[in-house]
Amino acid sequence: MKILHISALQVWAMKGKGGMPSLRETLAGHRRAGHEIQLVLPQYDLFSGDNSVQHIRRDQGYVTSVAVCNWLPWIKRLKNAARRLTRKNTVPYPARWLLNLTMLVCLTFSLCREAIRLRRGGFEPDLIYAHNQYAALSGFMLAILWRIPNVTRLYGTFLADLMAKPFVELRYPTAAAGFLVPSSMLICANDGTRGDEVARRFRISSHRFRFWQNGVTPPSISQHFDRRELLKRLGEERLIGDGKWIVSCSRLSYWKRIDRMINAMAVVKEKNINCQLLVAGQGPELTRLKKLSEELNVSNYIIWLGALAHEDIWSLMKASDIFIITNDVTNRCNPLYEAAWAGLPVVSVFDPSTEDLLINRKNALLVNKDDTISLGERLVRLCTDTDLAERLKKEQRKLSESFWTWEERMKVEVKELDKLVEEHKNMR
């Protein structure tokens, strides 16, 4: 069948190296099933602080179109102006509410306009697939206009802890839109943000709700990876070849709390451990984090690798000794699954979202979220206790056996979508 994908999110962020693996794997899974795909993206990155233009790749086996969004720079300027007026450098709630709602309405218009242009050009979709709450409304409107089913795909939510408060859908209309805008099927990632609880509170029918965990793409590299080869490929002269590598993979946003890792490295330095923290990723917190590492005098213990291609992330995982993740909101995310697949022992924080994945002293060492001293001590112990590290590695490999590969995950989804479209055709 023909599927029109509409995404408010970047597919190939950081000049094609980063972005959202789950979004890319969804597109790839639909292509493997033989479906014809058209993808519509906004002209700019909606969620960056600047007016970054979307990076588009043309070698993915489908056509990508750009929706003109000349209105977005003005909204970002207003947000930045509102932020400068506050001492905390945050956008006041009333301004944020109004600007986010304005962005939703304007984006809906831009995405719909581009989708209609594509249809007039000859692409007549059987299904609309909207990624993220900001694309949900356009997916619904196009589905009504063309009388075809629509799917909304959500990549987590922050609403779970707010659902007990009154008028949540009015106070956070853009976040609620992903759940409340009508769809033939609502797919929500089981990423620890408790989207299933939000769906129940909004009384979303179980008949159309799917709550699935992301898959993992197995590495294509050798199990016996040569660290020296990776040193050459990364071209980072300060990387040590004979010490322990502690790896972190994430966008450098505040809620990822890379600052906890940096504080922990101060403890590691005191113990004179031969190791380095390798941080793969880019983001708005980079300058602040580098400044913190300088203040704590641990700059030599931290290597900022920037954005890496996914294959290089796998290489890094296989060449490293420890994986660390200390997020605030949820730690149940793709890098954690990949670390388990790579057999890396994990140092993390106690988090309800991962309590079925990470068991303290079984396959991970866990600490309270803001106890950075204990976090550093756990890193020291894993760097020095070879027997403990090996036990955790074995348990991580057992855990990885319970995960879907992306191919398995997408086969389940494709089967559901085929059924949805067939049922819709039979009803017409």
Q: Retrieve residue 78's tokens.
A: 């207003």
Residue 384 has pLDDT above 60, yes or no: yes
What's the pLDDT score for residue 249?
92
Q: How far apart are the C-alpha atoms of 66 and 114, rounded to whole Å?
A: 7
Q: How far apart are the C-alpha atoms of 322 and 82, rounded to whole Å?
A: 41
pLDDT in tens, 93-131: 899 999 999 999 999 999 999 999 999 999 999 999 999
Ranges for all domains in the chain classified under CATH 3.40.50.2000: 2-215+405-427, 227-400
Answer whether CATH 3.90.1010.10 is correct for domain 227-400: no
Greater confidence, 83 or 264? Answer: 264
With contact defined as beta carbons under 8 Å apart, do 36 and 1 qualify? yes
Q: What's the predicted TM-score (pTM) here? A: 0.84
User: How confident is residue 220, by pLDDT bands cut at 50, 70 and 90?
Assistant: low
What's the pLDDT score for residue 236?
66
Which residues are CB-contacts of 157 (< 8 A; sequence separation ≥ 6)?
Answer: 175, 178, 179, 188, 193, 194, 195, 198
2-215+405-427 fold: Rossmann fold (3.40.50)
Greater confidence, 240 or 2? Answer: 2
What is the DSSP secondary-structure string of 1-58? Answer: -EEEEEESS-SSTTTTT-S-HHHHHHHHHHHHTT-EEEEEEESB-TTSSS-PBPP--S
What's the pLDDT score for residue 238?
77
Q: How far apart are the C-alpha atoms of 187 and 413, rounded to whole Å?
A: 9
Question: CB burial class (10 A; 0-12, 13-18, 19+) of residue 179?
Answer: buried
pLDDT in tens, 3-43: 999 999 888 765 655 667 889 899 999 999 999 999 999 99
Q: How far apart are the C-alpha atoms of 250 and 252, rounded to whole Å?
A: 6
pLDDT in tens, 228-249: 777 767 766 677 778 899 999 9
What's the pLDDT score for residue 146?
97
What's the pLDDT score for residue 231?
72
What's the pLDDT score for residue 323?
97
Q: Retrieve residue 406's tokens.
A: 């992306």
Q: To which residue do tokens 């939000």 refer?
A: 198
3-class DSSP string for 150-163:
EEEEECCCCCHHHC
The mean pLDDT of the chain is 90
Q: How far apart are the C-alpha atoms of 64 and 55, rounded to whole Å?
A: 11
